[in-house]
Structure 1
Amino acid sequence: MNADAGLRGSYWLETAPPGTPAPPPTGDITVDVAVIGGGMAGLSTAWELVREGREVAVLEAGRLAAGVTGRTTAKLSALHTLVYDRLRRTRGAEGARLYARSQTEAIRHAAEIVAELGVDCDWEEAAAFTYAEDADGVAELRAEAEAAREAGLAASFVTDTELPFPVAGAVKVVRQAQFHPRKYLLALADDLRRRGGTVYEDTRVVALTEGEPCVLTTDAGVKVRANDVVVATHYPVFDRALLFTRLSPRRELVVAGTVDASRAPRDMYITPERNTRSVRSAPYGDDDGVRLLIVTGEHFTPGTADVDKRFARLAEWAGDRFRGLTLTHRWATQDNDSTDSVPLVGPLHPGSGHTYVATGFGGWGLSGGIMAGRLITDLMAGREVAWAGLYDPRRLGSVVREGVSFLKHQTQVARHFVGDRLPPLSGPAPEDLAPGDGAVMRVGGHRCAVHRDESGRLQAVSANCTHLGCVVAFNRAEQAWECPCHGSRFAPDGSILQGPAVRPLERRDL
């Protein structure tokens, strides 16, 4: 984050040190299953497979649980804002029921794992609420409560909450959970190793050749041969089924700080109003007198917003609603929404017999990632799963069911593909940049992404994302180049911060 903010980054990363690094492989390896990605979906899948006796290697481009999972708000809930009334209309009552059952079983499974492994991860049972302050939202909430109840959740419509401000109404679902996601996943990784699994960090996979076996190639040129491959990289780095046409990335901001424990909500809350506001609290160290309030919102497409202003707006909202709040942390996370509101979990493409994918969790990747791990493990074992068809990436009819969402996303992407390639009529020059600023400009006839660091040094990289060529934009608050088409993110020097890109931005001479 921007040092000017005076706040620390992700609380989860700060309070769960990663321990000893797991170095990349030094030579070619052969395993039964290779899992690409060390977040919730990847580690959950690897752990389930190892428990079934499979020889598994996890290949993580950075550090375990330090990407999206390390920056979540850490709710384990089957109440996903307003999803059930939508599913009832687009997937029918049975589709909504299967969604609720699969997500609920994931939460219960996580609780069993915590108990079995004795994981100290601040596990707390809590109720989940989707609320509205405006009376205009009550009808929608009543419909959601009815749909969630029909789907099998213990859901009800209520008007009273523990929030320190009035609400017009809320959907309440009991027996959900909140926890420290990184402590949970690092414990899972330790148990995976004890069971014979292998973890490789700082290992970016850049190529996949499907076959028997499949062959992965890392950025260091190492070959990993595996009978089966799972792509759990949040946004798929390999997209043989053109899933990028059905996924739209969004970033979301988080501010957190200490508040007197008597004023901290013990349940979990979210509203779609005001560009989303999500609220919960967590234990804060060993001090029982305070809790950490975590407030999330202000979502936007990467590369399209003044992020500092959005952080300020979110912090102001949190301070106004929760008196006595002292902000200590701020960070951002990134999610991918599918066009039909259902994650894509299963075979990577129609012709794949040995490659699987888990993506499109729409901001609910903790319960979704646990569900995905169990589903993919069952599919590899040839077991039937009631909700496999619901999540199948090969499913037909998504465009028909959610045509507006699909067309809106494709229109936005097309605008960048075409509009960003038109030469600008005017623009800044390198000498115009203040320390900490970045801008896309023409330099020597080339479109470059130019950044001036705090010491005044200029550096330039190609402005075209290495994924599919969209032009990046600068996020000053996080000091990153971001692709508005598919969400790839790069450091000022062009190195990859987040996929789906697997190659850095090329350096340019000024």
Structure 2
Amino acid sequence: MNAPLVPPESYWIASTQATAYPPVEDRVATEVAVIGAGITGLCTAWELARAGRSVAVIEADRIVAGVTGNTTAKLSAQHGEIYSHLRHAFGAAAARNYADAQTGAIEHVAAVADELGIDCELERAPSFIYAESEDGVAALRDEAEAARAAGLHAEFTTETGLPYEVAGAVRVENEAQFHPRRFLLALAADLVAHGGQVFEQSRVTGLERDEGRHVLAVQGGGEVRCDEVVMATQFPVFAPMKIIARLTPRREPVVAAPIAASADPGGMYLTQEEHVRSVRTAPYGEGRRLLIVAGEKFTPGDPDTTGRLDRLSAWMTGRFDVGEIEYRWAAQDFTTTDRVPFVGRMPGEDGVYVACGFGGWGMTNGVAAARTIADTMAGTPPPWAGLFDPGRFHLLKEAGRLASAGAKVMGHYLGDRLPHAAPSDPAELGPGEGAVMRLDGGLRAVYRDEDGGLQIVSATCTHMGCIVAFNDAERTWECPCHGSRYATSGAVLQGPTTKPLEPHPHD
């Protein structure tokens, strides 16, 4: 099966109405400005508005259309083999605090959905991490014991609802899954009803202080003045190197196809084998479910994205009795060097808060982050606030991953310039193909569109100067260092960058 070069929008986006909130066109004044309108930003703003704060959400594109709109939408406290890691690295109390934050987030979503009467297809289901190979069983047994000690209803088992055998699994009860856009679009409407403001197509390009207040510059000339700022942008728009250097990007394709309700595996599943496989289903009409499979994680700009999408599609159709694949999309997130999110006050910045580094578990971590920031602003930080503190640094525990991440970035920054030393010829590109070439003495990102026309822009990422690479499945330019993404025209699709790739004149 060959996947198409350009996956369509996600099921969550396709099954909900588009939004049309206004842009920031002049000066906006508010107590708190929240940058980013995914699950973290909207939940934070909603919590603050409910507490009586004046709040404005500023989104670069459309709300819940970025990372949150492309998630697999698992509301699970089981985040891979996280509890054995936390117990070993930071102690039993840290593992329990992490579990409390995640389980609290699940129950909070359920309570808010019930309070507001939101039909977000919230379903209770068990969550599993599993291994088909005996080599992974010992680690799963250790994880089951660590998760149980942290307070989760966890057990080791060899029985699952999957249509193939596993050597072992950790089952956690009473987890949940939902339709994220249905939940968050309703939350945004309630936010506005309680006096909050939501702005779309308003990319924040600068952050300064003026007369004791923060001033956010917005592309197009608008500005937002506020007392406090929350950066809920997955990768902080403005952050010190202490945080930037400890965030590693990853991208992951997703495929979805209808499956008979009778063949539903009955839970949420994850394995690290075969380059990661994540499985869940969602309601999809009478007698059917939508099987959603993610995996094949890669660094943005990987040269084999179409191949990864094909392998994921083949795995799903080979393991499950599904209909034709109807949706394909991709999700992106960042992992910190100690595998715990950064949530709280930005180090060295008065009145600036950050939430990032969710490691692919943004649904519960996003809600937990919102509650953490809102409570911290109110002077009552939750017990897990110290665990998530962005100012923390554990040199011995992070040294290896930090060195690896730094070496990878430096390798891209320097090494990606070397293979392109010889001149290249754009005439070699076919329709829909892109490549980085040395033209006119510089590295250019060259793309030939379906009509045969060329689009040529600078290949230097405007964030920190790494060289972008072509994603042949989504037809985008991506930075392998920090995950910035651009359209073939050079327009910004995803930060941390705030500036487009420079156009290069050509005949």
TM-score range, shorter chain: over 0.9
| Residue pairs, 1:50-61, within 5 angstroms | 50-61=49-60
Task: Give unmatched runs, 5+ long, in structure 2.
Answer: none
In structure 1, C-alpha distance between the alignment counterparts of 2:381 and 2:477, rounded to whole Å: 43
Judge conservation of contact 1:7–1:327 (CA < 8 Å) in 2. no
SS in 2 for 1:299: coil
Would the alpha carbon gap of residues 427 and 72 (structure 1) be closer, same or farther in structure 2, given more than 3 Å must change? Answer: farther
For 1:446, the aligned partner's letter is G
In structure 1, C-alpha distance between the alignment counterparts of 2:258 and 2:312, rounded to whole Å: 16
SS in 2 for 1:326: coil
In structure 1, C-alpha distance between the alignment counterparts of 2:194 and 2:451, rounded to whole Å: 48
Match of 2:467 in 1: 471
For 1:505, the aligned partner's letter is L
Judge conservation of contact 1:119–1:184 (CA < 8 Å) in 2. yes
Match of 1:414 in 2: 410
In structure 1, C-alpha distance between the alignment counterparts of 2:58 and 2:5, rounded to whole Å: 34
Match of 1:99 in 2: 98
Match of 1:260 in 2: 260
Tell me, yes or no, if structure 1 residue 355 matches structure 2 residue 388: no
| Residue pairs, 1:20-169, within 5 angstroms | 21-169=20-168
CA shift, 1:5, in A, is 5.5
Match of 2:277 in 1: 277
In structure 1, C-alpha distance between the alignment counterparts of 2:423 and 2:177, rounded to whole Å: 47
Judge conservation of contact 2:303–2:469 (CA < 8 Å) in 1. no
The Cα offsets for residues 422-468 of structure 1, whole Å up to 9 and x where unpaired, read as 36343641111100011111111121101100000001101000000
* Partner residue of 1:293 out of 291, 295, 303: 291
Judge conservation of contact 1:339–1:405 (CA < 8 Å) in 2. yes
CA shift, 1:306, in A, is 0.8
RMSD over equivalenced CA pairs, Å: 1.4
CA shift, 1:64, in A, is 0.4
The Cα offsets for residues 203-257 of structure 1, whole Å up to 9 and x where unpaired, read as 0000001462111000112121100000001111111353110000000010100
Tell me, yes or no, if structure 1 residue 458 matches structure 2 residue 457: no
Structure 1 segments (4+ residues) deviating >3 Å: 2-8, 425-428
| Residue pairs, 1:331-410, within 5 angstroms | 331-349=329-347, 351-397=348-394, 399-410=395-406
CA shift, 1:360, in A, is 0.1
TM-score, length basis structure 1: 0.97
The Cα offsets for residues 100-128 of structure 1, whole Å up to 9 and x where unpaired, read as 01111011000000100111111100010
The Cα offsets for residues 27-73 of structure 1, whole Å up to 9 and x where unpaired, read as 11110000000001000100000000001000000000000000000
In structure 1, C-alpha distance between the alignment counterparts of 2:424 and 2:283, rounded to whole Å: 47
Tell me, yes or no, if structure 1 residue 218 matches structure 2 residue 215: no
In structure 2, C-alpha distance between the alignment counterparts of 1:26 and 1:88, rounded to whole Å: 49
SS in 2 for 1:508: coil
For 1:234, the aligned partner's letter is Q
In structure 2, C-alpha distance between the alignment counterparts of 1:401 and 1:238, rounded to whole Å: 26
Would the alpha carbon gap of residues 236 and 326 (structure 1) be closer, same or farther in structure 2, given more than 3 Å must change? Answer: same
For 1:32, the aligned partner's letter is E
TM-score, length basis structure 2: 0.97
In structure 1, C-alpha distance between the alignment counterparts of 2:78 and 2:250, rounded to whole Å: 20
Q: Matched residues, percent identical? A: 52
Would the alpha carbon gap of residues 237 and 7 (structure 1) be closer, same or farther in structure 2, given more than 3 Å must change? Answer: closer
Judge conservation of contact 1:18–1:64 (CA < 8 Å) in 2. no
For 1:331, the aligned partner's letter is W
For 1:306, the aligned partner's letter is D
For 1:434, the aligned partner's letter is G
Match of 2:187 in 1: 188
Equivalent pairs, count = 504
